[in-house]
Amino acid sequence: AGQIYALKTVFAEDRQMLEEMRQECAIQRSLDHPNIVRVYESFEADGNAVHIVMELCSGGNLVEKLRESPRGCDETTAAELTRKVLSAIYYIHQRGFVHRDIKLDNIMYENKLPGAEPKLIDFGFACKVMKGHESIEGRYGTLSYMAPELLDTKEKGPYESSVDLWSIGVTVYTLLTGRKPFDHEDREVKKILIRQASPSFSNSRWSHHSPHAMDFVKCLMRGDPAMRLSASQALRHPWFSGLDLCVRRSLRHRTTPAKLTSVMVQSLQAFASAALFTRMTLEVVAFFTSPLHLREVRHVFAALDADFSGTLSRSEFVGALAQHREVPTKEAHAIFDGIDFNSSGQLELNEFCAALVWTNLSESDGMSAIKHSFQLLDKNRDGVLTLPDLQATFGKILNQEALVAAMRSFGTVYDRIDIHDFHQIVSDVAQPLWSRKSRHRSRGTRQCQLVPDLWGISRRSSRDLVPIYPPDVMSSCTSLQRSSSHSPIQIRMQFSLTTPKLRRFSSDP
């Protein structure tokens, strides 16, 4: 699909490190937040190598940004950035995770464009906290950002998620002044300073910042974990409301505020009334669509997220639709339920994007997204989607009978879905939107006539099942399957990584 991904490769030194890498992958793949880097896939090879395919963040990290302003960032920029990172922290804490390594190095910008989103990366030290057992053990993180209780786990015992808030405090202190609060060449001296938990606010660099900024950092860097602000409390601190970031976020990089348009409302209605299988498939399409293509939709999502939780509550969503008089309140609730098909009570970013993916994609980009999604669902690369292919992706939501019924409801042959069937399934929601842009297209035309052949292979009938991969791709896959001793999942990922252009980076030592 012409997208560029990042490939993080880590060579596990032992079984424990391998398990830690598996845990990192599992955690990140379960998260869906605008300010958390997205992991698309992971696989293992050669016994100890773990490869993680993730969203490429090409805008650099905060260490690089701070080099451009060695005496610290301006307060408004720092506050806007901090609120987005706090939103990510609140989101992961709500789901029972603790990051344990928040620092300038682990916050990157998605690209170098104005208004680029910051992304929290590197969940290598993250852990899951069981409900009812919120305490954690083990010393993890980077010394300069460690909370005092992390230094004395043997004496003080387990700690809690508040260690992440201390790290946020250190990060903001450094962003505003260009200096770390406890910086010393001698590690033992640095530990003493951290244990004292008394960062200095008397230097001249703080004289240029507001009392609210200083109070915010102090509230996060309290030595007693119980006295620190939680992520939700920190999001409500006066530092943010005083700067009126909500208005600034809408106007700084945009000529008009982000809001639901009438076209978007039509798309939401069409999506919510579509078959469950269609909605699930569109989630796959949205997941693998470039964030740049969904930039407008993501702006709207952020504008509707009034509490900065990283999700849309029912009241936030219904309130936004209330601005459109043609949508009654009862229908607005029904639309919410149709998008929230797993009944979580909130809409996550990808669910929202799935409902609106066609409003921002041109027809050609839509074709590319459909083809790319089909390839990723086609586990054995035979050019058709079979029941095992769909079970691997949707098996936790739909049972076998439901999947077979869904496949047959679209008129598929021999319980198989080829690329043209797949296009019909996912583009039914898009047809009304595309027809507004292309009046010459007829919705009644058969899909084999509507869709140009995706690989240049002629097709006489919509029921001809032909491979959709070019000959060189098919031969590469065949030779890999014959020669490789890896498991099917490893074969699949090794093969799929040859298709997109990938940029490689290694993990920190």
Which two structure tokens, joined as six digits, stand for 25? Answer: 């992958």
Four-CA torsion 228, 230, 233, 234, nearest 10 degrees? 80
Per the listing, tokens 């990723």 go with: 376
| Chain centroid, CA 260 distance in Å | 21
Strand 118-120 and strand 107-109: pairing? Answer: antiparallel
Which two structure tokens, joined as six digits, stand for 495? Answer: 């093969």
Of 263, 352, 272, give the one whose Cα is nearest residue 313. 352
Under 8 Å between Cβ of 421 and 433: no
Say how far apart CA 383 and CA 396 lie, in whole Å.
24
DSSP per residue over 165-221, as a string? HHHHHHHHHHHHHSS-TT--SSHHHHHHHHHHT-----SGGGGGS-HHHHHHHHHHS
Say how far apart CA 432 and CA 443 lie, in whole Å.
8
- Quote helix, strand, coil % in the chain, to nearest 5: 50, 10, 40
Handedness of CA 476, 477, 478, 483 (dihedral sign): positive
Under 8 Å between Cβ of 430 and 359: no
Residues 6+ apart with CB under 8 A from 236: none
The kind and range of the H/E element at 502 are strand 501-506
Beta bridge partners of 43: 51
Give catalytic status of residue 101 as yes or no: yes
Under 8 Å between Cβ of 182 and 194: yes
Strand 4-11 and strand 501-506: pairing? Answer: parallel
Say how far apart CA 7 and CA 39 lie, in whole Å.
10
Catalytic residue chosen out of the listed positions 14, 32, 101, 340: 101
Of 430, 396, 386, 113, give the one whose Cα is nearest residue 289. 430
Under 8 Å between Cβ of 31 and 41: no
Q: How many residues are there in the chain?
A: 509
Per the listing, tokens 């296009």 go with: 423
Under 8 Å between Cβ of 434 and 360: no
Per the listing, tokens 């880590």 go with: 10
The residues carrying an active-site annotation are 101
